[in-house]
Amino acid sequence: MAEYLPEITNDSVCSVDAKEELLNECERIWQKLEELSLLTMRVKALQAEYNQWQKRTPEIISNNPDVLLALGKEELQKTKNDLEMVLSIIQSKNEQLEEDLKREQQWQEEQEQVVDNLNRIEEEMETQTEKLPTKRPLQQLQSKMLEVKSYKEGLLNALGEFLGEHFPIPEKGGSTKKKKSFKKPAVELITLNEILEILIKQLMRTPHDPYVTINDSFWPPYIEMLLRYGIALRHPEDPNRMRLEAFHM
């Protein structure tokens, strides 16, 4: 039987403690109603599951031990064959991933060597510039600048050829079957070489703000590859921006 609760009118005066007690009592009653509702739903679900099991009739394969043994061996052999096939696929994928990793590590080492060479040349230029005679500093500096520019262009061309061969844009890669099923993106994707050029130019132009906004023309697998191997870094506060790792620092 529900307890009698006094009617509260505008004219009645209730203490703060009485109001709080009344609110707590309402809260407890509401929680009990929610628990009752959940229990009711659970009972209905269990009853429906019970009825389904009651309608099912177990299938008896055979009571013959030899038949059961033969069926068990056959099922085990099928399971074994399936597991062997899965193991073979996994091993093949692991080998491919190891080859890709070695190739990427070699490419990273080559790029680091290129950066080291450029840094060494820059240091040599600075040292030689300090030692230049006061009468011919401009001429010798221009000559060195031309050599560095030529060397830089050669490196960029070699890098572009390497990236174009091994990291083409998605439309140019894959088998014929993949090409037919490839869905052309709304924005034309750019090559990995172009992505690196954008990052390099941003770093050189504004070293205080080297981050570039990642747009739809950046192919996500290339972005993940640059981030995974430490060639590029995400902005610590904005995951949609990235910059080239400052190898020269």
Is 26 a member of any domain? no
Q: Are residues 160 and 187 in the same domain?
A: no
Q: Are residues 108 and 162 in the same domain?
A: yes
Q: Are residues 159 and 188 in the same domain?
A: no
3-state secondary structure of 133: coil
What distance in Å separates the CA atoms of residue 21 and residue 26, rounded to the nearest whole number? 9
DSSP H or E stretch at residue 237: none
Is 239 a member of any domain? yes
Of 151, 241, 238, 244, the residue nearest 205 (C-alpha): 244
Does the model's pTM come out above 0.85?
A: no
Which structural domain, as residue segments, surrounds residue 217? 171-176+183-249
* Confidence (pLDDT) at 136: 66
* Confidence (pLDDT) at 248: 54
Q: What angle do CA 210, 216, 222 make, to 5 degrees?
A: 70
Is 162 a member of any domain? yes
Chain center to CA of 97 = 17
What distance in Å separates the CA atoms of residue 56 and residue 44, rounded to the nearest whole number? 19
The tokens for 97 are 């991933």
| HEC per residue, 159-200 | HHHHHHHHCCCHHHCCCHHHHHHCCCCCCCCCCHHHHHHHHH
Instruction: Give me the number of domains the chain comprises.
Output: 2
* Confidence (pLDDT) at 235: 92
What distance in Å separates the CA atoms of residue 215 and residue 53, rounded to the nearest whole number? 55
Which of 137, 166, 195 is the last residue before a domain boundary?
A: 166
Contact 216, 185 (CB under 8 A): yes
Tens digit of pLDDT at every position of the chain (249 positions) = 444 445 544 445 556 777 788 888 888 888 888 888 888 888 888 888 878 877 776 666 667 788 888 888 888 898 888 888 888 888 888 888 888 888 888 888 888 888 888 888 888 888 876 665 555 667 777 888 888 878 777 777 777 777 777 777 666 444 444 444 445 556 788 888 888 889 988 888 888 899 999 999 999 999 999 899 888 999 999 999 999 887 655
* Confidence (pLDDT) at 242: 93
Which position has the token pair 């009853």? 47
Question: Residues with Cβ < 8 Å from 95, sequence gap 6 or more?
Answer: none
* Confidence (pLDDT) at 211: 94
Contact 232, 239 (CB under 8 A): no
Q: Are residues 195 and 227 in the same domain?
A: yes
* Confidence (pLDDT) at 14: 52
Q: Are residues 207 and 237 in the same domain?
A: yes
